[in-house]
Structure 1
Amino acid sequence: MSKSCNSIDLKPTRPYRCAVASEDYSTSFYEGPPFKRVIKELEGGNNFANCVRFSPDGKYFAVGNSNKNVYLFDGKTADLVGVIGEEPTHQGGVYSLCFSPDSQELLTVSADKTAKIWNVDSRQLETNFVMGTSVEDQQLGCLWQDDHIITVSLSGELKYLDRTNPDTPLKVIRGHNKAIVWVATDRKEAIFSGSFEGRILKWNASTGEAIQFKGRGHNTKVTCALYDANSNCLITAGLDDNVRFTDCDTCEYNNETAVPLESQPSAMAMASDGGIVVACQNELVLIKDGRKVCSLPWKAHFPAKIAVFGSTIISTGVTTNSFKLYNIENNTITATTDKFSTNKAIYAFAVSPDLSKVAVADFSSILVYNLCDNSFKDPEKSFHGHSSNISALGWSPDGQHLCSVSMDQQLIVWDYASESKKTKRAYFKSVITDCTWLDDNTVVTVADDCAVKQWSISF
């Protein structure tokens, strides 16, 4: 081989052999063990050899090539048996293949957005699965495990195929394939998550199954979101400078309800009267009844964070190492003269469900202020445990516990009354980006590893 290896497989029966598919258009065939001596360099194909697989009985091995063909070889001698199907095997590069457990059939998947099942002996097509028409419907991987036939799309979907009904998969498993930046819940059964490229999923918390939001949405990063129980809508703000209201039953975007913004949004919160406050780079916006009713100009020098308690907005972003208060009255936002300094930059806010406390993430510490007097002179309590920037905070629905996540990969849940904590190294190679509560005993976290995790909490 003169270039990178794309795939390798071992013959499961004696005499043992090893086949290696490479980007130099060749497939190397070794005897062993040890697999040191190359018996034959197979030149079948004039493009990248993407995947090589032996049949379970060791009689054959097949090579999928970017030239759209699949080549079948003798498993012992590596002699070419022939091309699968009539050339070309597919109408696009072949990225993966897998033999059936009985070695009688071969599953192949391709960039032509199809999966196909072939009879090995006759090399003729038996079943054709058409996966779609979009670029993300390209098929990149496959598995034939017992009676389960599974393919992987460019979109990240896992599809369980039904050969008796090729037009409709038995099941589709969806997820994220980019870093997840936020998470929200309906505090019942639904979890909503958004990844860097703008994909939004609604998860069933019990089954783990997900539904992707449909239609023409943000088509770019969604920076923040919140769930409105009164309208059963997910409210999202994205870098396309729009706020969108999407029904959580249909999960289908409605462009007629989109509210345009003058600059990029970074945070969002709901007021007690149902108004939506959005912190943008150049303005602080109030949205009511699906329309913008007020815009207060400001200049955020870094991504602003906000929270709302009653008719008061607490925010940071305009000035460093401090936070300010704004009032909402008669559909207008007015700035107060109050400005409160902190020792370090503020990374997150969280107001308790009963509106009596606000937690402020001051770098790696958490300061909790009593909102009854609005003095903000001294915190009622402070919590310490993180070693890096805190990404997000969240109060449990009963207000008894506070969760925090950080770039230090830790999830910490604090019992407010006793000030005790539960610490979990939640992620080992990923930065946790957001957290929220599903119920009083379940925390949901997301990170840049594309996974949504649920944690059971007990003290």
Structure 2
Amino acid sequence: MPFELKHVFASLPQMERGVAKVIGGDPKGKNFLYTNGKSVIIRNIENPLIADVFTEHAHTVNVAKYAPSGFYIASGDASGKVKIWDTTQKEHLIKYEYTPLSGKILDMAWTEDSKRLAVVGDGREKFAAVFLWDSGSSVGELSGHSKTINSVDIRPKRPYRAATGSDDTTALFYEGPPFKYKCSLPEHSQFVNCVRFSPDGSYFATAGSDGQIYLYDGQKGELVRSLGGDKAHKGGIYALSWSADSSQLISASGDKTVKLWDAEAGSAVTTFTLGSDVNDLQLGCLWQNNHMLSISLSGHINYLDKNSPDRPIRVLQGHYKSIQCLTVHKGDGRSYIYSGSHDGHIACWDSETGQCEGLSGKGHTNQVSRMMVNNSHELVSCSMDDTVRFTSATTKEYSAGDVVKMDFQPKCVSVADGGLSLAICIGQVVLLKDKRKVFTLDKLGFEPEVGALHPGGATAAVGDTEGVIHLYSVSGDSLTPSTQLKVTAEVTDLGFSPDGAFLAALDCSKALTVFTVADGYSIKGQYYGHHAKPVVLSWSPDSEHVATGGMDTNVFVWEVSDPDKRIKIPDSHRLYHVSGLAWIDANTLVTTSHDANIKLWTIKY
């Protein structure tokens, strides 16, 4: 194969304030899994850089759980569909598919023999179903609730028992199989968000928006005790997870803490304080082997250690909203990837380790549309908040002073030698020098879409909606029109090669056109392959190859000297179009998409 997927820098879980996030654990103890949009993300708990993505759902996936055998995963989506798929093969072949509910599925649980599956959520006819995994045949009824069921669990030992928690403020207890209603547990005064049996089946715990945790007998469903006296947490509790030996459990709360409880004593052993910001609300947790994980509203995954209650020993950062653009910067002997997302967040990734950190300070407040790194090692980014920002790639800290306010929303930014930047705004072209506006072109007579500066800074190219590329000479602090080039449709991206020899243009007619600069911008070649609109291009560092990505989810790597030589990466991001491309070196390409994942590809010519 001329290409190979090297790494997936996985998206974070998609979070919503006040909504619990279920994290699934691998029974073998190696992986954990969660959902983002239509994707299920599987990550290695020791080395989260090892990640895999399942993309076969057509609707938002809310929960995924491993079968106790470890061979299959069941995932449930917003349409009520459950897919049961293979974990052992890279292809993740779907074994069975059912639609047990007519609305969104919020939680699920397997019996310990991996033969029965209970699913709960919000349906028109019913809120829960329990069925055989290989036939879909019902094995009882989880009835009795009057509102959405948020959580379900099944006792992992025989005789089987099931428990559910609902927005009707009750938890219910069932015997089976076939499962049937045994009793109601009315202790909570607000929504019941989570129910979980201990691994040995002796207890199950319920947690609610009232800040209470109650412990019940796992076989009889009788109340044993409440944890923490009057209240377990000051805020609502969204998730519970037991230790492997069933003696302790952790709880995640909206009071921005995670607590470690002694089940027998009913008291908190450790309180982990995760911050003071609204983004530090804790909405999910998992205890797997020696690892205790919690998920913040920000999507950050915190690795907790009872010896370090005030700070996680590790935090997995990244994006959970769609990524709009990316660029690469080489500094201190390493390559870093910068990615900007729909919510204004910019993340910096070490391309070797996958370690990610967000830029510190107050940054963009809306979608980051485009960014590049200039010769001064500054990240130049433009956003729908009507600003162009200059941020040090060394300190990775936003500067309040290095922000240029635009008159109109910027769509694209480009950089060149001499401290030059070019911003393409709605109806305007703005030249910046040393972080200041020095020249503005308006009343253009055309609508500019994208722009590119020649690396030497002598020429600016601006592509419009009519398929015309307007070339300007950059002289002093001004732009002077010089010539025009024509392509067949609206220009979607432009880029000069790193050596300045070529100008590449993408357009809506699915064509890549490369012009030779020294030869009066004569056409070097035209390249066709996309079957939907291509939207982004990136030159390789050796100026011999151009990568393009489009609405068809495909990526092409073109050899400039030979239009017939191309490498196609089909379905690079299966669910969404390619939104960003960048090269780390001549053989390593980075792609991103609205799935919030970043992929590194090894390219072999």
What is the TM-score when the length of structure 2 is the normalising length? 0.72
Larger relative contact order, structure 1 or 2 (CA cutoff 8 Å, min sep 6): 2
Following superposition, the deviation at residue 320 of structure 1 comes to: 1.9
Following superposition, the deviation at residue 275 of structure 1 comes to: 0.6
- Quote the residue 1:447 is aligned against: 593
- Quote the residue 1:458 is aligned against: 604
Q: Indicate whether 1:196 and 2:339 are aligned.
A: no
8 A contact 2:339–2:346 mirrored in 1? yes
Q: Indicate whether 1:136 and 2:279 are aligned.
A: yes
Q: Which segments of structure 1 move beyond 6 Å, counting only runs of 4 or more?
A: none
Pairs aligned (count): 453
Q: Which runs of 5+ in 1 are unaligned?
A: none
Q: What is the CA deviation profile of residues 195-237 of structure 1, one whole-angstrom value per residue up to 9, with x for unaligned ones?
A: 1111111101111111111111122222211112x32211112
Distance, in Å, in 1 between the alignment partners of 2:204 and 2:338 is: 44
- Quote the residue 2:84 is aligned against: none
- Which of 419, 428, 433 pairs up with 1:274? 419
Q: Indicate whether 1:306 and 2:470 are aligned.
A: no
Following superposition, the deviation at residue 94 of structure 1 comes to: 0.5
Following superposition, the deviation at residue 134 of structure 1 comes to: 0.7
- Quote the residue 2:25 is aligned against: none
Following superposition, the deviation at residue 420 of structure 1 comes to: 1.7
Q: Indicate whether 1:115 and 2:258 are aligned.
A: yes
8 A contact 1:139–1:151 mirrored in 2? yes
Q: Indicate whether 1:85 and 2:228 are aligned.
A: yes
Distance, in Å, in 2 between the alignment partners of 1:252 and 1:412 is: 35
Following superposition, the deviation at residue 375 of structure 1 comes to: 4.0
Distance, in Å, in 1 between the alignment partners of 2:370 and 2:445 is: 16
- Quote the residue 1:373 is aligned against: 519
Q: Which runs of 5+ in 2 are unaligned?
A: 1-144
8 A contact 2:329–2:373 mirrored in 1? yes
- Which of 417, 421, 442 pairs up with 2:561? 417
Q: Secondary structure of 2:401's match?
A: helix
TM alignment of 1:45-444, pairs within 5 A = 45-187=188-330, 188-228=334-374, 230-298=375-443, 304-309=449-454, 310=456, 311-317=458-464, 319-336=465-482, 338-363=483-508, 364-376=510-522, 379-418=523-562, 419-424=564-569, 425-444=571-590
Following superposition, the deviation at residue 301 of structure 1 comes to: 6.9
Q: What is the CA deviation profile of residues 230-275 of structure 1, one whole-angstrom value per residue up to 9, with x for unaligned ones?
A: 3221111222222221112221111112222211111111234331
User: Which AA in structure 2 matches 1:396?
Assistant: S
Q: What is the CA deviation profile of residues 328-382 of structure 1, one whole-angstrom value per residue up to 9, with x for unaligned ones?
A: 101111234x333332221111211111111111222211111112345xx3211
Residue range with higher mean Cα deviation, 424-433 or 192-201: 424-433
8 A contact 2:473–2:481 mirrored in 1? yes
8 A contact 2:262–2:269 mirrored in 1? yes
8 A contact 2:259–2:270 mirrored in 1? yes
Q: What is the CA deviation profile of residues 379-426 of structure 1, one whole-angstrom value per residue up to 9, with x for unaligned ones?
A: 321111111111200111011221111111112212333432222221
8 A contact 1:323–1:339 mirrored in 2? yes
Q: What is the CA deviation profile of residues 286-330 of structure 1, one whole-angstrom value per residue up to 9, with x for unaligned ones?
A: 11122222122245976620112242211123x523221122101
8 A contact 1:130–1:166 mirrored in 2? yes
Distance, in Å, in 1 between the alignment partners of 2:379 and 2:514 is: 28
- Quote the residue 1:3 is aligned against: 147
Distance, in Å, in 1 between the alignment partners of 2:174 and 2:560 is: 64
8 A contact 2:427–2:447 mirrored in 1? no
Q: What is the CA deviation profile of residues 156-200 of structure 1, one whole-angstrom value per residue up to 9, with x for unaligned ones?
A: 111111101211211111010111001010144200001111111
Over aligned residue pairs, what C-alpha RMSD do you find? 1.6
Following superposition, the deviation at residue 446 of structure 1 comes to: 1.1
Distance, in Å, in 1 between the alignment partners of 2:294 and 2:182 is: 33
Distance, in Å, in 2 between the alignment partners of 1:333 and 1:320 is: 21
Distance, in Å, in 1 between the alignment partners of 2:307 and 2:410 is: 49
Distance, in Å, in 2 between the alignment partners of 1:400 and 1:321 is: 25
Q: Secondary structure of 1:323's match?
A: strand
Aligned residues with identical type, % of pairs? 36
User: Which AA in structure 2 matches 1:215?
Assistant: G
Distance, in Å, in 1 between the alignment partners of 2:582 and 2:178 is: 53
User: Which AA in structure 1 matches 2:360?
Assistant: K
User: Which AA in structure 2 matches 1:86?
Assistant: G
Q: Secondary structure of 1:136's match?
A: helix
What is the TM-score when the length of structure 1 is the normalising length? 0.95
